[in-house]
Structure 1
């Protein structure tokens, strides 16, 4: 056995062998999830964690889509049901129901919020030229929440804007509170 020959195949410190790794992409990656029968996606870099559904602590006078708050390692995280907020699907809580917790930098501050979805699907790699502009004919989701659409085999995935999702509606009398 020739030790010197084997040593030539070992990468030097700081050198990395990337041969055979297929997860590296030039495009952006999005976590896909289901709301009813529709498929959506969010920038994976904003995803802090995916949690199983647990009943949060209710907030008095909160809008119907604000399910409450949870304590996540000392951070109080508001939980929003996207199905109710966007009027998509039924708001039933099954075994597959999860909370996607996002953390995003907003005005030099980090903001964490959780979104209830029916199920998490997969990771989508999308090149910039694959993202199509959303049609302006209206719908249940306001356009400021949508980055664009991506064709995925026989389905269309709606890419959501994580920064826009962090903006909860301002408090209106008898409608809820601002988080």
Structure 2
């Protein structure tokens, strides 16, 4: 088969979203769905960058506040706030996480020549967390392409997805507490 030219020149789709007034994007294949920010239950003892958990069709899904994790100005919840549900890899297993976003941008298509390597300076996030910088169709601005598998280490993913203790369930405090 001689598909190497087609495969290397194929464009990749990304979902862009806003964090602290900056546009970021993730590969569309990692994104499972986008949901309106609703009830997120705080989990005592969770890392500071875990906003809490929510129920996604019977599954407990942790919500990661990327602004906290990336040391950006904290997110302020608005009617445009949403959760981007993604899959990340943890020791060969697919784990579902929610990422809090200030707003959703758009689906953008980038050819390989539209993706520049991550710069070593001048971005609000560490260059190791980036796949690169995508030049949007207008060519006038760039979107920071996040590598979610590097933003969260294996240990951090394990911390975020640990089963909450029974008293931290969404059903309220244990009996006898108010």
Q: TM-score range by the shorter chain?
A: 0.7 to 0.9
Asked if residue 162 in structure 1 is aligned to residue 148 in structure 2, the reply is yes
Equivalence for 1:29: 13
Aligned with 1:88: secondary structure? coil
TM-score (norm 2): 0.75
Aligned with 1:83: secondary structure? helix
Runs of 5+ consecutive residues of structure 2 not aligned to the other structure: 1-8, 162-178
Alignment map for 1:1-150 (pairs within 5 Å): 26-137=10-121, 139-150=123-134
How many corresponding residue pairs?
Answer: 150
Whether contact under 8 Å (2:84, 2:100) holds in the other structure is yes
- In 1, the alpha carbon distance for the partners of 2:58 and 2:101 equals 23
CA displacement, residues 82-107 of structure 1 (integer Å, 9 cap, x when unaligned): 12221334411000000000023443
Runs of 5+ consecutive residues of structure 1 not aligned to the other structure: 1-24, 172-176
- In 2, the alpha carbon distance for the partners of 1:55 and 1:29 equals 30
Question: RMSD of the TM alignment (CA)?
Answer: 2.3
Distance 1:34 1:57, change over 3 A: same
Which has the larger Rg?
1
TM-score (norm 1): 0.74
In proportion to residue count, which structure has more helix? Answer: 2
